[in-house]
Amino acid sequence: MAPAYKRILLKVSGEVLAGDQSFGIEPEFLHSVAQQIADAAKDGVQIAIVIGAGNIFRGMAVAADGTDRVTADLMGMLGTVINSLALSNAISRQGVKSKVFSALTMPSVADSFTARAAKAALDEGYVVVCAGGTGNPFFTTDTAAALKAIELDCDVLLKGTKVDGVYSEDPKKNPNATRYDAVSYDEVIGQNLKVMDTAAFALARDNQLPIIVYALDDKEGLSGVLAGRSRFTRVGS
């Protein structure tokens, strides 16, 4: 069966790679994420990825001890480069070609990101990992994910999280919270639902980019979500 989407952007939080640790990369979790991505790529969908750095450094946390915010955010962006190299290499080891493009110029580490080069790589069958966030401080990798999804003409932005969709309240705090199958951009704003940060969400809404929120540890993985077999919430108009 032909995949439902031609090209997707997947946002993965850095903390997913740390598994049950609070810092760093646990090989078991790295390989499980890489395998999901490789399986979906083998189904024929083009995949771009943005990964965070919550498992290494978050600018706001570093800045709390007095480090200036621009420096702290550069440290965070460098953390995304480390995660991107690890994830891209793990995907390659699953037998799927993968390439890192960085928004921070570092030619000895990765190709510099341009939408043109990244789209060409996607068309050639590479899983493209976009490192360095937006390349600017005061942003998050959620915003980078929305931006790259639009720049790369992706059909949808998928956000792999610890829960299986968008809820009326945090389901870990309130087990009776309502889970939505589909929700509109306006409902997300009106009901103050937590999907992505404000800048990321505004970009998605203004460009009619649908967002799918799903549980990264779903046993069917990314392929199950793309085939509509798994539980997720779709945010759109």
Strand pairing report for 166-167 and 179-180: antiparallel
List 84, 98, 134, 230, residue binding ligand UDP (CB under 6 A): 134
> Is 73 among the residues that bind ligand UDP (CB under 6 A)?
yes
Alpha-carbon distance 226 to 4, whole Å? 7
Q: Using the rule CB under 6 A, give the single segment among 35-43, 49-57, 170-178, 179-187 that binds ligand UDP.
A: 49-57
The nearest distance, CB 147 to ligand UDP, in angstroms, is: 8
The nearest distance, CB 141 to ligand UDP, in angstroms, is: 3
Helix (H, G, I), strand (E, B) or coil at 41: helix
Q: Is 114 annotated as a binding residue?
A: no
> Is 54 among the residues that bind ligand UDP (CB under 6 A)?
yes
Q: Contact at 8 Å (CB) between 143 and 203?
A: yes
Query: 133 vs 165, which CB is nearer to ligand UDP?
Result: 133
Alpha-carbon distance 208 to 237, whole Å? 7
Alpha-carbon distance 109 to 16, whole Å? 23
The nearest distance, CB 178 to ligand UDP, in angstroms, is: 25
> Is 221 among the residues that bind ligand UDP (CB under 6 A)?
no
Alpha-carbon distance 97 to 133, whole Å? 21
Strand pairing report for 211-215 and 232-236: antiparallel
The nearest distance, CB 202 to ligand UDP, in angstroms, is: 15
> Is 160 among the residues that bind ligand UDP (CB under 6 A)?
no
The nearest distance, CB 172 to ligand UDP, in angstroms, is: 17
Q: Any residues with CB less than 8 A from the CB of 74 and at least 6 apart, and which?
A: 137
> Is 52 among the residues that bind ligand UDP (CB under 6 A)?
yes
Which structure tokens are listed for 27?
A: 């090989």
Q: Is 14 annotated as a binding residue?
A: yes
How many Å separate Cα 145 from the centre of its chain?
A: 6
> Is 144 among the residues that bind ligand UDP (CB under 6 A)?
yes
H/E element holding 179?
strand 179-180
> Is 224 among the residues that bind ligand UDP (CB under 6 A)?
no
Q: Is 67 annotated as a binding residue?
A: no
Binding positions for ligand UDP, rule: CB under 6 A:
13-15, 52-54, 58-60, 73, 76-77, 79-80, 133-134, 136-137, 139-144
